[in-house]
Chains A and B, each alone.
Chain A
Amino acid sequence: MKTIKYLFAITILFTSFVSCSSDDSDDLKEENPVEGLNLVETIETDHHDIELYSANKSFMIGYNDISIRIKDQATNTYISNAEISWTPVMHMTSMMHSCPTSEVSLTENTTVSNGFIVFQMPGNDTEYWNLKLNYSIDDESFEASKNIEVIADEDDMRSVSSFMGSDNSRYVLAMVTPVNPEVKVNDFTAVLYKMEDMMTFSVVEDFTVTVDPRMPGMGNHSSPNNEDLTYNAASNMYDGKLSLTMTGYWKMNLKLLNEDGDVLKGEDVTEENIESSLYFDFEF
């Protein structure tokens, strides 16, 4: 019996050999409100340096999350509680137009304001974007503007689509996340705007965007458990889920439906029709 007990103890011991992954301990980070962001542009005025930060190294077509800090040139300190509004304008050879933007609002750190701009197109030699900022500091108003560079994705991947719907309205749909797609069920977020006129874009509420991710390199393989994009009133964005079963090139075939379920843009993917005219794509 003793031996058996002994052997059994070995069994229990052996059973306990399970490995685990160690948790990363977070080091205390220094307080830098724009940590990890790139200073993309600085607009200099007579009194201020207005710094524009983004996760990317430059402004890209599509959704750009932008943080703004205003530095007082006299004191070399960042100004708190500035009220900022912005107007990006595309100067084309024959016309001008704006693009969808959010409000600019203060973040927890009152020296930093934040918002987003959806550029539908890049600039080039003859056509350029100009960003105009109106801001007030302690009830004193200022204005600044600068021509900024907006570049296309170097791999020519599509994360924004500007199109005419079957209701003869022009829409802009832009992907917000995933920024770094992974093999998993990714959170899929997009913004949808209707172009009211050349300078005015309004958030579209309560539409639906159906999602059908495909891998053209794998015989148009699709994935399960995707969720269509639906309107989230809290964020004014559209939320859904995107399942990606492997790394590589994916095309997210989309269809825009209005409140009544009428298709405004996009087609189903079938054997004959291998892609929708409304899509995003990326590679990872």
Chain B
Amino acid sequence: MQHIKAMGIMLYPNQAINKLKRVCFLVALTLPLWSYSQQENHKKHAQTEVDSVKTNILKEVVLIASKKKLFYQQEPKPLASVDEFLDSAQKVNMIKRGAYAWEPAVNNMVSERLSVTIDGMRIFAACTDKMDPITSYVDVSNLSKITVASGQEGSEHGVCVGGAIDLELDKTGFKEDYFKVNIESGFESNNKQKIIGADLNFADTNFYVDADVIYRNADNYFAGGGEEVLYSQFEKYNLSFNGGVLLKNESKLTTSFIFDEARNVGYPALPMDVSLARAFIGSVSYEQLHLGQLTHWESKLYANSITHIMDDSKRPDVPIRMDMPGWSDTYGFYSQAQLNKQKHNVLFKVDGYYNRALAEMTMYPNDPNQSAMFMLTWPDVHTLNSGIYVQDQITFAQSDLKVSTRLSFQNNRVADEFGLNSLKIFYPDMEASQNRFLTSMAAQYHKKINAFDVAAGLSYATRAPSVSEGYGFYLYNSSDNHDYIGNPNLKNEQALELNGSVALNKKTFNISLDANAFKMPNYIIGEVDTNLSPMTIGAEGVKVYQNLDYAVITNVALSSAYKISKTLNLNGVISYHRGIDNDQRNLPFISPLAYGATLKYHKKTFNGELAMRGAGKQIHYNPDFGEDQSDAYTIFSLALGKTFYVSKNQLYLKTGVENIFDTYYSTYSDWNNIPRMGRNIYVSLSYKIN
């Protein structure tokens, strides 16, 4: 790093400095907007924990919080994977390539269009084939909640167009003489998944230490009707550590570290499995309550390193054997503070990260006399992104307005000569380095009119192409059976979003209608280039990432909650989604009509839940993107939980049945139509020692 720093300053192109000057100027222009006279207001910015629908239509919080028993018991399946928790969120859909490492989609947009962070830290997957979304590198044992933000509500942690997912680590915090041990274990019948975990929390008024470990091991799962889904096994363990020290002057120093390793992970929808997916994620942060007029000043330095190794050694029939390792290292920081004056609650943030993404492919010809074939599929792309984010939440008597903006500068550089020369085969005039300037701004207004909450918002955002979109080299997509070539000449994708919602809130009943529409000029997608010859044996052709004129994605959801009695609650949601491009072609991976309902019972130490979810027949699909029509389905699940007290300690037992009727089904988001899990009975037991 020393070497990098020293050389970097000299090397930096003048253009970049000019662009930064422009950022300064823009900031200077907009700053007076937020200068107001003093008044303390400790209201934390838009984060409501219990019912997200009422107060902020753009945010949804999925609670995991294993250390907070209050929420813990409400979860239908405490030891579910992070993926299952996300799947239960209304705003999230999960794209599945197997039983492990699902890829989250928000507003029907996936990884490249989202900002996915862990405690605000940017982490980038190391797999060229999206087999390791960031959400696969944490586990429920170390999370307190997941915040899902729609559209530009998510731009606080980084550039995004579709939304954001922030996984928040669970920290005990400073508590007097606190010591707790929690042991958890679970079993799932369908894939014989065994889960065992423990966590230890130790705290006093001036320090805290949390440590936890969780281990999961699953065999192949069985689809409805009993068909075994081969290569769907997985094994993973996760260790994490949090610690904090209270310093004088209302300040604290905290640190967190996560080690996550998955081995022998099968991907039934793909031609390859994963022998190793490993992450080291660490951070140190400093927080101070007051800084001049500012409050809640927090600065964090972080680093993470991911290694991902694909493996086809367990597959009996492959056209050719290959190794496909990938690496992604990220170093970053952010520093943020709030300013509360009269009606204003302003958040300032500066952040930056530096990521290196490298992936290679070595193929071993069937003719043993021929030498191995090697290519760089991600040509050691170094991405430097730094930006500023400012938001102001202005509270009026019966309404509030939130405005926010993010301005970022991004530099991408192909650091490997071999990789650059490879790409120059397609783009002879390509430069190794390129700069992009990204902007986003959003305004969201909310007003309370009697029992109604009305909200509307408008936003604009741009994003740079991802490493695969800009620099990928023959990345095989098994869904549409094409090799993909990146395109460094892509323009930034833009998104203009309009959203609105109306909610009626009564004592025992509320109903809410939310809608958003994204018009996305320069939407990035792979288009067939018939002049190119595929690399992957058996692939139909080659697609090159291109900018469409525009695409439009629309989401509408109607949700309601009815409090039947003190102990009984009924929730329901139905949502409609549509995605088309400027030629009226259907975009891939857009949800059909989806619905769900949950009946919850809760009394003292007992709770139960009966849930139904399903989707209509997929009407809008696109065979050009490897899609075929998904059938309608409805599945049911049941969960029961009971807390026992053993002296002062708590024993919590939860059991349930998923897919009660063992329905065979596959949804629009199941890669290559792999069927989902059939009937599954699970039991989990957690024992808290105080």
Contacts and interface: CB of A to CB of B under 8 A. Distances in A.
B529 to A, nearest CB: 8
A248 B370 contact: yes
A246 B5 CA distance: 33
A7 B533 contact: no
B363 interface: yes
Nearest to A15: B386
B205 to A, nearest CB: 29
A247 interface: yes
Contact of A248 (B372, B382, B386, B409): B372
Contacts of B8: 16-20
Contacts of B20: 11-12, 15
B651 interface: no
B350 A249 contact: no
Interface in B528-547: 531-535, 537-538
Contacts of B413: 18
B7 A20 contact: yes
Interface stretch (A35-43, A116-124, A160-168, A211-219): A211-219
A248 B374 contact: yes
A110 to B, nearest CB: 37
Given A18-B8, A20-B8, A215 B373 contact: yes
Given A3-B292, A183-B422, A245-B425, A8 B531 contact: no
Given A3-B291, A10-B350, A217-B320, A19 B7 contact: yes
A249 B370 contact: yes
A8 B24 contact: yes
A17 B27 CA distance: 22
A184 B424 contact: yes
B418 interface: yes
A93 to B, nearest CB: 32
B623 interface: no
Nearest to A226: B425
Given A8-B24, A20-B8, A225-B425, A218 B320 contact: yes
B492 interface: no
Contacts of B370: 217, 248-249, 283
A156 to B, nearest CB: 10
B4 interface: yes
Contacts of A14: 333, 352, 354, 386
Contacts of A19: 3-4, 7-8, 382, 415
A4 interface: yes
B574 interface: no
Contacts of A224: 425-426, 531-533
B365 interface: yes
A245 B374 contact: no
Interface residues of B, number: 63
B7 A219 contact: no
Contacts of B16: 15
Contact of A218 (B337, B352, B424, B535): B535
A185 interface: yes
Interface in A223-270: 223-225, 243-249
Contacts of B367: 217
A76 to B, nearest CB: 44
A28 to B, nearest CB: 25
B428 interface: yes
B311 to A, nearest CB: 20
A39 to B, nearest CB: 30
B123 to A, nearest CB: 18
Contacts of B449: none
A185 B333 contact: no
A284 B425 CA distance: 17
B618 to A, nearest CB: 32
A222 B371 contact: no
A222 B352 contact: no
A247 B372 contact: yes
A280 B548 CA distance: 41
Contact of B365 (A7, A15, A249): A249
A54 B637 CA distance: 78
Given A248-B370, A283-B370, A10 B425 contact: no
Given A219-B538, A249-B365, A7 B335 contact: yes
A57 interface: no
A10 B371 CA distance: 49
Contacts of A245: 375, 422, 425, 473-474, 535
B424 A11 contact: no
A153 interface: no
Interface in A117-162: none
Nearest to A14: B352
B316 interface: no
A97 interface: no
A222 B539 CA distance: 13
Given A16-B12, A18-B384, A19-B3, A247 B373 contact: yes
A221 interface: yes
Interface in A8-65: 8, 10-12, 14-22
Interface string B357-372: 0000101011100111
Interface in B483-542: 531-535, 537-538
Given A16-B9, A245-B474, 8 more contacts: A10-B350, A11-B350, A16-B5, A19-B415, A183-B418, A183-B421, A219-B538, A225-B426
6 contacts: A4-B348, A11-B20, A20-B11, A221-B533, A245-B473, A247-B374
Interface of A: 1-4, 7-8, 10-12, 14-22, 182-185, 215, 217-225, 243-249, 283-284
Ranked 7 nearest A-B pairs via Cβ: A248-B373, A184-B421, A19-B4, A217-B365, A222-B533, A246-B375, A18-B8
